[in-house]
């Protein structure tokens, strides 16, 4: 569909809207963000060479260059946005470029890891519930609940399914088939119950027959790089079985140090916290992209580090920068069943736990890397550089601050802030170190509650934010 001169004049005659936006040139970062936001919504039109509101035609000196930049922006999104070729039109003897974003695009598009939508004339982040609904609608996360071509009821290991169903608590339903339907493991298709990809992966007799690459390659190398000397195990079977066998591989291959306690009691300590290593395996199994065939999870242990690499990038709005705080699952059906079986805590996916366990053992912090086609976490066996730990002051406020009731963690935070006067600041990480046994989400809520009560003031944004005492004379 081509836009006429009259169409363009009507567009710019008023204010910008959810479906119409214009910019003087292609230099603004907001151009690409608007493209993604419209693609995640009902589409729209973007004009270059127009400014003001109502719009005034300013024109472009080099419209061909503007077209090229628009196409580069579209292709650099995640995933690439395929749009009609931008039009170069002439208005008032000046060149304007018009880009149409069709409605009903097939994917959900991100710019710099951010998923946006149009709210009036603004680009705003998609809320988790909105993002989940949009990804479901556009089949971004529906793969696991699709029926598996060629699979029948006979491809389910019903002994495992019955064992799973019998172990569920708080569910009145006892019929195994009904439970698997509710969990997204069975679906009615062509008048018959058929296993979904989640059902085959979790309860299948031979999952790898239907999902190539749904396995773990575990290897222990003698040195810091891959070499000829190694121990390898190819781990197949259902996802719960893979997790159990991977844990056995870790127990068998991780180095152990022998420690003697004060009473000369003998104890063994693994080179990495076993629970941290296990959490990484569980996360990889639960959240990898099973649409990617021919590539499985890799669990590689070297002399100085351990690497867990899983196919597919981070899901939804999760990025390397926000991985500690953001929560989103690509495979909610798989996560639910693994949670039922006790492998995973659905409220948190183990990243905070891994970081805390490494810190408790005074080991280097993990590295999280998003690589081409995959995501990798690296644990190191070297100690963390020595740093003076924060010491929690003894609580002395008696549970009340300026007439306001506070809990013990909030008391610790306020005493910490009072140590060095009004110049003192505290972050979520500081309070986490002062209260190491408390979940990070609880820490966040405690500080936010003090802000709501006007005891603290939040400064900065996102990862750079911190809190200071809210003094009336500031």
149-174 pLDDT, tens per residue? 999 999 999 999 999 999 887 777 77
Looking at residues 264-282, what average pLDDT do you find? 80
Give me 28's structure tokens: 């603004």
Looking at residues 258-268, what average pLDDT do you find? 46
pLDDT at 306: 96
- Nearest one of 284, 277, 283, 286 to 253, comparing CA atoms: 277
pLDDT at 209: 95
Least confident range from 111-125, 134-148, 215-229, 379-393: namely 379-393
- Return d(Cα 358, Cα 345) in angstroms, integer: 19
Alpha-carbon torsion angle 278, 281, 282, 287, nearest 10: 160
Contact 261, 178 (CB under 8 A): no
- Nearest one of 230, 461, 232, 272 to 361, comparing CA atoms: 272
Contact 91, 9 (CB under 8 A): yes
| pLDDT for 84 beyond 80 | yes
Q: What are 57's strand-pairing partners?
A: 50
Per residue, the 3-state secondary structure of the chain, as one string, reads CCCCHHHHHHHHCCCCECCEEEECCCCCHHHHHHHHHHHCCCCEEEEECEECCCCEECCCCCHHHHHHHHHHHHHCCECCCCCCCCEEEEECCEEEEEEEECCCCCCCCEECCEEEEEECCEEEECCHHHHHHHHHHCCCCCHHHCECCCCCHHHECHHHHHHHHHCCCCCCCCCHHHHHHHCCCEEEECCEEEEEHHHHHHHECCHHHHCCCCCEEEEEECCCCCCCCEEEEEECCCHHHHHHHHHHHHHHHCCEEEEECCCCCEEEEECCCHHHHHHHHHHHHHHCCCCCCCCCEEEEECCCEEEEEEECCCCCCCCCCCCCCCCCCCCHHHHHHHHHCCCCCCCCCCHHHHHHHHHHCCECCCEEEEECCEEEEEEECCECCCCCCCCCCCCCCCCEECCEECCHHHHHHHHHHHCCHHHCCECHHHHHHHCCCCCHHHHHHHHHHHHHCCCEEEECCHHHCEEEECCCCC
Percent over 70 (pLDDT), the chain = 88
Looking at residues 11-31, what average pLDDT do you find? 91
| pLDDT for 347 beyond 70 | no
Angle between helices 239-253 and 332-340 (to 10 degrees): 60
Distances (CA, A) of 171 to 158, 185, 336, 344: 19, 17, 14, 19
Please state, as a whole number, how many other Cβ atoms lie within 10 Å of the Cβ of residue 370: 16
Looking at residues 19-47, what average pLDDT do you find? 93
pLDDT at 385: 61
**For residues 383 and 258, which has the higher predicted lDDT (pLDDT)?**
383
Least confident range from 28-32, 82-86, 256-260: namely 256-260
Contacts of 334 (CB under 8 A, 6+ apart): 144, 198, 201, 202, 239, 286
Looking at residues 58-69, what average pLDDT do you find? 94
pLDDT at 213: 92
Show the domains of the chain with their CATH numbers: 5-137 (3.30.950.30), 143-210 (no CATH), 216-380 (3.30.565.60), 400-469 (1.10.10.10)
- Return d(Cα 334, Cα 122) in angstroms, integer: 36
Please state, as a whole number, how many other Cβ atoms lie within 10 Å of the Cβ of residue 368: 18
Least confident range from 43-57, 62-76, 122-136, 276-290: namely 122-136
- Return d(Cα 469, Cα 425) in angstroms, integer: 8
| pLDDT for 268 beyond 70 | no
The pTM for the full model equals 0.58
pLDDT at 257: 62
- Return d(Cα 369, Cα 376) in angstroms, integer: 5
Q: What is the pLDDT of residues 274-303, one digit of tens each?
A: 999 999 999 999 989 898 887 899 999 998
- Return d(Cα 179, Cα 185) in angstroms, integer: 9
- Nearest one of 403, 406, 430, 404 to 419, comparing CA atoms: 430
Average pLDDT for the chain: 85
| pLDDT for 473 beyond 60 | no
pLDDT at 227: 83
Q: What is the pLDDT of residues 192-207, one digit of tens each?
A: 999 999 999 999 999 9
**For residues 390 and 452, which has the higher predicted lDDT (pLDDT)?**
452
Would you place residue 348 in the very low, low, confident or very high pLDDT band (cuts 50, 70, 90)? Answer: very low
Percent over 90 (pLDDT), the chain = 45
Would you place residue 189 in the very low, low, confident or very high pLDDT band (cuts 50, 70, 90)? Answer: confident
| 10: phi then psi, degrees, rounded to nearest 5 | -65, -40
- Return d(Cα 409, Cα 432) in angstroms, integer: 10
Q: What is the pLDDT of residues 401-432, one digit of tens each?
A: 887 888 778 888 888 887 654 457 888 888 88
- Return d(Cα 209, Cα 150) in angstroms, integer: 11
């Amino acid at each position: 569909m081509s836009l006429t001169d009259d169409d363009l004049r009507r567009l710019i005659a008023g204010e910008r809207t959810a479906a119409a936006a214009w910019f003087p040139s292609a230099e603004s970062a907001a151009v690409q963000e608007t493209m993604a936001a419209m693609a995640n919504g009902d589409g729209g039109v973007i004009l270059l060479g127009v400014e003001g509101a109502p719009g005034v035609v300013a024109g472009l000196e080099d419209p061909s260059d503007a077209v090229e930049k628009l196409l580069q922006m579209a292709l650099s999104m995640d995933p690439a946005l395929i749009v009609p070729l931008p039009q170069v039109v002439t208005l008032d003897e000046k060149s304007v470029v018009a880009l149409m974003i069709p409605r009903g695009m097939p994917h959900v598009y991100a710019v710099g890891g951010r998923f946006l939508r149009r709210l009036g004339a603004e680009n705003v982040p998609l809320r988790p519930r909105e993002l989940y609904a949009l990804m479901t609608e556009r089949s971004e996360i529906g793969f696991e609940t699709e029926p598996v071509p060629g699979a029948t009821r006979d491809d389910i290991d019903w002994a495992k399914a019955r064992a799973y169903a019998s172990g569920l608590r708080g569910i009145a339903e006892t019929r195994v088939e009904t439970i698997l339907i509710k969990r997204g493991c069975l679906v009615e298709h062509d008048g018959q119950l058929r296993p979904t990809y989640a059902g085959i992966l979790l309860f299948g007799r031979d999952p790898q027959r239907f999902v190539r690459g749904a396995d773990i390659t575990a290897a222990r190398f003698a040195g810091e790089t891959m070499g000829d000397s190694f121990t390898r195990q190819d781990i197949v079977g259902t996802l719960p079985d893979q997790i159990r066998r991977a844990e056995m591989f870790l127990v068998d291959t991780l180095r152990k140090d022998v420690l003697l306690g004060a009473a000369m009691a003998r104890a063994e300590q693994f080179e990495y916290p076993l629970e941290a290593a296990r959490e990484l395996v569980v996360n990889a199994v639960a959240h990898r992209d099973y649409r990617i065939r021919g590539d499985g999870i890799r669990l590689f242990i070297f002399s100085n580090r351990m690497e867990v690499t899983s196919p597919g990038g981070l899901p939804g709005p999760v990025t390397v920068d926000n991985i500690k705080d953001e929560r989103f699952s690509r495979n909610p059906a798989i996560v639910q069943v693994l949670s039922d079986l006790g492998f995973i805590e659905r409220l948190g996916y183990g990243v905070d736990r891994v970081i805390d366990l490494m810190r408790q053992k005074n080991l280097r912090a993990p590295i999280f890397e998003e690589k081409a086609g995959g995501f990798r976490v690296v644990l190191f066996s070297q100690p963390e550089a020595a740093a003076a730990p924060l010491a929690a002051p003894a609580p002395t406020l008696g549970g009340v601050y300026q007439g306001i009731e506070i809990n013990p963690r909030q008391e610790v935070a306020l005493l910490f802030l009072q140590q060095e006067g009004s110049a003192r600041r505290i972050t979520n990480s500081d309070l986490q170190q002062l209260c190491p046994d408390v979940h990070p989400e609880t820490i966040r809520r405690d500080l936010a509650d003090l802000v709501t009560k006007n005891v603290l003031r939040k400064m900065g944004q996102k990862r750079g934010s911190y809190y200071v005492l809210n003094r009336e004379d500031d």
